[in-house]
Amino acid sequence: MVETDREIIYVGDPMCSWCWGIAPQLDELQRRLPGTAFRVVTGGLRPGPNAEPMSDELAGHMEHEWTLINQATGQPFDHRTIERRDFLYDTEPACRAIALVRLFDPPRAWPLFKRIQRAFYAEGVLTINLEALLPLVEEVGADARALQAAFDSEEYRDAAWADFTVAREWGIHSFPTVIARVGEQGHLLTIGYSNAEVMLERLPESFGGEG
């Protein structure tokens, strides 16, 4: 049974490189807290109006970051993505897909988040449009047809932006951010990369589990 009075809330973006770096640690955190709900909130790294064309300057920055993250975490990177100069680095479509899958099929939201990450960072897939995202939705067992129908509908078009607003209202501007919620109280476990052991040590006593 999943606890509803406590949960781990993860605020991140599937096209945020340090979010890719922390992914195995979040899996370990969940493994160590069986029965605890795990909620994904998409934070919006470079969505819509904040998207950037892939340029030499941006690619150089990302190359540096990816090298650091690989050294720190062992997570793999395929640099073919940042060798291209023909796309807009817009993270909103990927965030929208996750927000919609969370709405329709909550247990699939985290697997989809990770699958999009792996596609973008380790497989050289440009996860910036519905065409690229649908196969990944199918792979994690979510309903690709439902996603396709909702993706550009007026009712659901702003699903990701609702998440972005929540993150900003919580004062979160950096990803990854991980929070432990007990009742109405939130406890910050990390802003930025951390390992599962450190996050477990920061759990409040009221959370139970291994805190």
What is the separation, in whole angstroms, between the first and last Cα of the chain? 19
Name every residue whose Cβ is closer than 8 Å to that of residue 91 and which is 6 or more positions away in sequence.
13, 14, 15, 16, 44, 45, 46, 47, 51
Q: Is it the case that residue 2 has pLDDT exceeding 60?
A: no
Structural domain boundaries of the chain?
12-170
CATH class of 12-170: alpha beta
> Tell me: the pLDDT tens digits for 76-130?
999 999 999 999 999 999 999 999 999 999 999 999 999 999 999 999 999 999 9
Q: Three-state DSSP class for 86? A: coil
Q: What is the mean pLDDT of residues 157-167?
A: 96
